Amino acid sequence: MPRFAANLTLLFTEVPALQRAELAAQAGFDGVEILFPYDHPVAEWEKSVAGLPVALINTPPGNWGAGERGFAAVPGQEDRFRDGFLRAAEVANRLNAKRIHVMAGVARGPEAEQIFRENLAWACASAPGQMLTVEPINPDDMPGYFLNDFDQAARIIQDLSLPQVGLQYDVWHAARIHGNATAVWAAHRDQISHVQIAGFPGRHEPGGGGFDLTALCREIDEMEREVWIAAEYRPARATVHGLMWLQALKGRSRPIGA
């Protein structure tokens, strides 16, 4: 059965960040993901998660308010990427995070792709025991982001042929970019190593948009590799009052989604 992670950046925001892991465990999540665990000392996060599995963290994005979204594909920012990645790798090691999402940043063109490839290869060599992901993000939510197409991401992963690097599949971004999240899953499922879910079209509680989450769980059941399903959505109300989808998917009592 897939394991479900609560995204502590978006869920349980009714309480401070360091108190959210406890609520996630009480709600029935198997683990958590933390987009940017850099605003608190890692020792505080260790105490917060208290042994609860951490499915994923992101590399540092830089100055978010100034429009920075990571540096892995940004020409001239190789040192900033590498310093940030080493910081992420240290945090991931302390938290035993399963994967690090390598944020590409705002860039475009052949030079950006070459730098992205080189930085991914460097990251794999620098943290040989750490699994990494890359994630296409839709241009409405993140204008100018280098990685904005699942076919593009799949091609880069295939060309690099680095076992540490997998595709991060977010139902929301797949639907926004390509119009059909189911087709994206079918085309790239063999490269996918981490899944994020949200409702469509509102990005609230998972379900809708013609995507069958129950079928997704069945397919992940059959995979020989571990693939977490992370809840990365904006709750329409208090998080604990909108978790029927989690209970249904864990119990598989009825179809959810389509």
Between vectors from CA 161 to CA 1 and to CA 108, what angle results, nearest 5°?
100
DSSP helix/strand/coil, 186: helix
Read off the pLDDT of each residue in 26-36 and give the average, rounded to a whole number.
97
Q: Structural domain tally of the chain?
A: 1
| Stated pTM of the model | 0.95
In a domain, 99, yes or no: yes
The one-letter amino acid code at 222 reads E
* Residue 240, domain member (yes or no): yes
Eight-state DSSP code of residue 198: -
Which residues have C-beta within 8 Å of that of residue 80, sequence separation ≥ 6? Answer: 62, 71, 74
To the nearest whole number, what is the mean pLDDT of the chain?
95
* CATH code (residue 124): 3.20.20.150
Interacting residues of 222 by C-beta distance below 8 A, sequence separation 6+: none
Residue 50: Cβ-neighbour burial (10 angstroms; 0-12, 13-18, 19+): exposed
Question: Is 256 inside a domain boundary?
Answer: no
Share of the chain above pLDDT 70, in %: 97
Q: Is residue 219 part of a domain?
A: yes
**Residue 89 within any structural domain of the chain:** yes
Q: Which residues contact 208 (CB under 8 A, 6 or more apart)?
A: 199, 200, 201, 202, 257
The pLDDT, as a whole number, for residue 251 is: 83
Residue 255 pLDDT greater than 50, yes or no: no
pLDDT category of residue 258 using cuts at 50, 70 and 90: very low
Whether residue 97 lies inside any domain: the answer is yes
Q: What is the pLDDT of residues 107-129, one digit of tens each?
A: 999 999 999 999 999 999 999 99
Q: What is the pLDDT of residue 252?
A: 60
Residue 256 pLDDT more than 70?
no
Catalytic residues: 135, 232
Range of the domain at 169: 3-251
Task: Give a yes or no: residue 258 inside a domain.
Answer: no
Please tell me the distance from the alpha carbon of residue 202 to that of residue 119, in angstroms, as a whole number. Answer: 34
Confidence label for 208 from pLDDT (cuts 50, 70 and 90): confident
144 in a domain, yes or no? yes
